Structure 1
Amino acid sequence: MPESFPEVEGGGSLIVAWQIRNKKVLVIGGGEVAAGRILNLLNADAKVTLISPREGLNPEVAHRVERKQVEYIDRVFEPSDLDDPNISMVLTAIDDPAASTVIWKLCKEKRIAANIADVPPECDFYFGSVHRDGPLQIMVSTNGNGPKMANIVRRRIADSLPPNIGDAIKKVGALRRKLRVLAPGNDEGPKRMQWMSKVCLAWSLEDLCAMEPEDMDALLESYGPNEIPTFDQVRLGEKPGVFQFDGSFGWYI
């Protein structure tokens, strides 16, 4: 029998989590769209340089400038602004299509990834609608077809999620870091991944949220034999698969 593989469905985007921590990003424009872009960048720990005349700053962007959360240049864009080799990406949010296209072409010449707001053909990447809960990020993209629809879908997804899922993910992250200290070798990688997957399947969201550092230490004791005790077993100090005698029947296993 021939093997069955997924059919290719073109027309999509490669959705990735772009790590831009401590990397320089140039934002051109200071209106409402720029405000959303800047917040996304700051949440990702990017180093943001903003170019816009002061009279073009909306209240949120002006707040970022006043708090020195961005490096601010009070003027219109100049081609020499792209000469900095440390620029990782450029975002434009200005009400001048012709000027935006010029910036786009300059970015292409210098091989700098760029996003021209509201002009999908002049974008190397898109900003989707994002739901954020601590370490959890969920992005919905319509590939430039309908930003409002992306927002509607994102809200529906967010409404279906448990309210404490962000806390559960933080606890899982802490457990993974402890596990890497316990079993640091590369050869342990497959076992670590398998064991962590089994924990996430065996423990409820409520269990993961309630997990404390001492619970993690007790749970990690079962990594060697590759077992998964229940949350109650961890709290009671019991071992997986062992019946604890309480004296009520006069016998034990």
Structure 2
Amino acid sequence: MEENHLFPVFFKLNRLHTLVVGGGNIGHEKLNAMLQNCPDANITVVATWFLPEVEALAQQHHTITLIQKEFSCGDMIGKNLVIAATNDKELNYTIWEKAKCSKVLINVADTPELCDFYLGSIVQKGNLKIAISTNGKSPTVAKRLKQVLQEAIPDTLDEVLNKLQVIRDRLKGDFTEKVKQLNKITDVLVQEKEKEQ
């Protein structure tokens, strides 16, 4: 039976440089996803044309650079991540080839077999962020799970996280001892849930 062997990672997109190739609907969708999670993401978008919505995002976010031209392998220089977001399969494949040669991680929209990483559905409540992956099988299921979790997780959880950080900063001892103490403190969260059942 096939399993999901993806390793979840949260990128600090303001410290990396992302290249998006495509200024249409797909590029806009990917750009939006990144900016919702990191408003100061460092992104260069290369395309022969741009949707007005993409241009509007670039005006709102000073860390976005739009370059109107055809893609070339030189666009990879200095980039850490690439998203091929065109509706031209041959061009997307060419971008994938260039990314592999340049040793740059790539996501080719709607082509799981050419992706080094996926942009999953995200649930966020303040500082809590949960990424959902279906291993490229069904983004629709991931979207539905996002809705369920968004409703199930209380908005007050961020207040709890802030208080736990204050407690963590005051704890004494080495890492192992701090983990034990935090586990003891947060055990009440699980116990209350068990009592309800």
Q: Give the TM-score category using the shorter length.
A: 0.7 to 0.9
Partner of 1:87: 79
Q: Is 2:67 the counterpart of 1:49?
A: no
Aligned with residue 77 of structure 1, among 47, 65, 71: 71
CA distance in 1, matches of 2:52, 2:86: 12
Render the CA deviation track for 1:110-144: whole Å, top value 9, x for unaligned. Answer: 11100000011110011111111121111111111
| Residue in structure 2 matching 1:127, options 115, 119, 129 | 119
State whether residues 83 and 106 of structure 2, in contact with CA within 8 Å, keep that contact through their aligned partners in structure 1. Answer: yes
* Alpha-carbon separation, structure 1, partners of 2:161 and 2:137: 32
Partner of 1:97: 89
User: What is the aligned-residue identity percentage?
Assistant: 25
- What is the distance in 2 between the residues matched to 1:35 and 1:168? 35
In structure 2, the residue matched to 1:39 is: 32
Q: Any idea what SS the aligned residue of 2:174 has?
A: helix
Higher RCO (CA 8 Å, separation ≥ 6 residues): 2
1:168 aligns with 2:160: yes
Q: Which TM-score applies when normalising by structure 2?
A: 0.83
Which residue in the other structure is 2:195 paired with? none
Task: Give the unaligned 5+ runs of structure 1.
Answer: 1-7, 205-253
Kindly state the Cα deviation for residue 11 of structure 1 after the two structures are TM-superposed: 4.4
> CA deviation digits over 1:42-71, x for unaligned, max 9?
433531111123x43241x22221122402
* CA drift at 1:106: 0.8
Aligned with 1:197 (options 159, 167, 183):
183
Amino acid at match of 2:149: I
Superposition map of 1:1-253 within 5 A: 10-42=3-35, 43-44=37-38, 45-53=40-48, 55-59=49-53, 61-67=54-60, 68-82=62-76, 84=77, 86-176=78-168, 178-179=169-170, 183=172, 188-202=174-188
- Tell me if structure 1 keeps the 8 A contact 2:4–2:134: no
CA distance in 1, matches of 2:123, 2:8: 15
The structure with the larger Rg is 1
In structure 1, what residue type is equivalent to 2:47?
A: S
Q: For 2:14 and 2:163, how far apart are their aligned partners in 1? A: 23
Equivalent residue of 1:166, what SS?
helix
Give the CA deviation at 1:175: 3.4
Instruction: Deviation per CA, 1:182-222: give whole Å up to 9, x if none.
Output: 64xxx611111111222223479xxxxxxxxxxxxxxxxxx
Separation in 1, partners of 2:189, 2:96: 49
Partners of 1:71 and 1:100 in 2: CA distance: 20
Give CA-to-partner distance per residue, 1:7-65, whole Å, 9 cap, x none: x9644322222344411111111233323322343433531111123x43241x22221
SS at match of 1:26: strand
Give the aligned CA root-mean-square deviation in angstroms. Answer: 2.3
